[in-house]
Amino acid sequence: MTLKVSSGKLSLENTLNCGQVFCWQRDKDSTWQGWIHQTPVKVWMENSRSLCVEVKEGQLHEAEVKHYFGLEDNLEAILRTFPQDTWMRQAIEFSEGLRILRQPAWEGLASFICSALKQIVQIQQINRELRQRFGIALKSGNQFPTFSQLVHYEETQLREAKLGFRAKHLVRTIQQLNNKEVDLETLYSLDDVSARNELLKLSGVGPKIANCVLLFCYQRWRAFPIDVWILRGLKNLYFPRKRKLSLNYLQDFTQDYFGPYSGVAQQYLFHWLRHRNLPTG
DNA sequence: CATCAGGCTTAAA
DNA sequence: TTTAAGCCTGAT
């Protein structure tokens, strides 16, 4: 069956291919195959204001689709809180229709632990490898394995999924979650700082990855991940004359300057910066 | 305390 | 050969 959901402004390209999520693939006909939590779907836009979702009968409700794609967020109002400097204006124009998804916490956490020193294409490969090797098989693909399912595997087995040295961290984090040292479910009810501190207890989770998980999985819109792209961008665009900038100083600056939705602004900047520096762009 | 090398894997350019 | 969405450890 096909669900048709009124979406407001939404660009699937900018939303699914901006580096916030790694379980979507575009087909030739600009439809996308991926997952809404553990449900396999195919999605496409109709008349630029309706999101169509092909899904097995009874597997998904419209509310779940809206929630996953963040369609209840007032995007225009969020964009108005951004500083209207020359760079942000370009980023907003380039990233039109980009929405922050509400991803499942475990898959997001695992993906970002695996993201260290990896390009987006490679992180997508890891996502597929983990599904194919360890996930429950459905007709249209394998589900992302839960940490409970993964707890039975050794580091060497995870390494085969192209994880490299990140396998050690993922194994440790899986054990920590299995021990209830950290409980991903309770993070939803914690304030930003407490939730962040919980994530930082996990192996392989530093400031950058913690902020990614907060922003993309826990709807903490002030979380501003600083990676090498954003670091270069901030230095070149906002502090071209400064020689030395500490990470702490920049982190404070982003909170103040980009405002209550600074994390969303980060993603708009990030998406723009990446394509701005590509050979074709 | 902050800050900073060095090491870690792999694939693509 | 270099580079790519970092983190951890240990040394100052």
- Inter-CA distances, A151 with A33, A62, A179, Å: 28, 33, 10
Residues in chain A: 281
**Residue A150 CA: distances (Å) to CA of A10, A131, A136:** 35, 11, 11
> Can you read off the two tokens belonging to residue A154?
């050794």
Please report the pLDDT score of residue A277 as a whole number: 62
CB neighbours (10 Å) of residue A223?
A: 23
pLDDT of residue A278: 55
pLDDT in tens, A148-173: 999 999 999 999 898 988 999 999 99
**Per-residue pLDDT, A281:** 28
Pick out the nucleotide with least CA–C1' distance to A225: C5
Any strand B atom closer than 7 Å to A228 CB: no
Taking the C-alpha atoms of residue A251 and residue A260, their distance in angstroms, rounded to an integer, is 14
What is the reported pLDDT for A240?
A: 87
Q: Is the pLDDT of residue A106 over 80?
A: yes
Q: How far is the CA of A165 from the C1' of C10 (A)?
A: 19
A86 touches strand B (CB under 7 A): no
Q: How many Å from the CA of A281 to C1' of B7? A: 34
pLDDT at residue A52 greater than cutoff 60: yes
- Structural tokens at position A209: 């990855």
Q: pLDDT-derived band of residue A142, with 50, 70 and 90 as boundaries?
A: very high
Work out if A162's Cβ lies within 7 angstroms of strand B: yes
The yes-or-no verdict on residue A51 having pLDDT over 60 is yes
pLDDT at A33 over 70: yes
Query: Which nucleotide's C1' sits nearest to the alpha carbon of A202?
Result: C7
Rounded CA–C1' distance between A51 and C10, in angstroms? 52
What tens digit of pLDDT does each residue of A60-100 get? 999 999 999 999 999 999 999 999 999 999 999 999 999 99
- What pLDDT score does A90 carry? 94
Give the burial string for A72-104 (b: 16+ CB within 10 Å, else e): ebebeebbeebeeeebbebbbebbebbbbbbbb
Average pLDDT for A263-276: 92
Percent of all residues in chain A with a pLDDT value above 90, rounded to a whole number = 83
Does residue A29 carry a pLDDT above 70? yes
Using C1' positions and the CA of A229, the closest nucleotide is C5
Segment (H or E) for A107: helix A105-113
- List pLDDT tens digits, range A233-262: 999 899 988 878 888 899 999 999 999 999
Percent of chain A with pLDDT over 70: 98
Please list, residue by residue across A146-164, b when 16 or more beta carbons sit within 10 angstroms of its beta carbon and e when fewer do. Answer: bbeebeebeeeebbebbbe
Say yes or no to pLDDT of A279 above 70.
no
In strand B, the nucleotides that come within 7 Å of a protein beta carbon are 2-4, 8-12
CA of A114 and C1' of C4: distance in angstroms? 13
pLDDT at A280: 33
Distance A156 CA to B8 C1' (A): 15
- Residue A4 (CA) to nucleotide C5 (C1'), in angstroms, measures 33
Whole-number average pLDDT of chain A: 93
Asked if residue A182 lies in contact with residue A202, where contact means CB atoms within 8 angstroms, the answer is yes
Residues (223-242, chain A) with CB within 7 Å of strand C atoms: 227-229
Residues A192-204 have pLDDT tens digits of 999 999 999 999 9
pLDDT of residue A137: 96
CA A206 / C1′ B8 distance in Å: 16
